[in-house]
Structure formats: structure tokens, C-alpha cells
Amino acid sequence: MDYRLTESINTKYGRAVVSNMNDNRGYIPGALAKGDFGFITDITENFNSSFAPTIQDWLKPTFNYSANYR
């Protein structure tokens, strides 16, 4: 998900989840109806934010922050 909060502030968030749902082939609709998404084997999240103010025409600094979780 990308967010542009203001002209100079941008953020991005992402999440990926891996499970063994493939073991339920042929039973996926029933498993989803029960809320059984399988055993979660991996979760990865990342967050990025940048701040790029225009102070003067010749001075345009950029500040970045990044965090990754696994």
C-alpha cells in the first residue's frame, strides 16, 4: 500500500504471508469457509517512509527510513 500523505511525505507498507494451504487442494473452498488458512510458515513485513522537503530551489534534502520484519 502506497500513501502520499503530503507533497513531501511518502510511505509504503507491504506484507506477505506464506502458508501450507496447497496441502488442502480439492478442499480449498471448504477450508476457506471454516476459516482454515493452513499453517503459516512465513510472514514478512516492510515499511518505507521518505521526507523530501523543498527548502530552497538549490536545497532539496531527502530523508529515508526503512524497516523490514520477518
**pLDDT band for position 26 (cuts 50, 70, 90):** low
Is residue 42 classed exposed, middle or buried when 0-12, 13-18 and 19+ CB atoms within 10 A define those classes?
Answer: exposed
pTM for the whole structure: 0.67
pLDDT, averaged across the chain: 86
With beta carbons less than 8 A apart as the criterion, state whether 48 and 15 touch: no
C-alpha cell at 57: 530551489
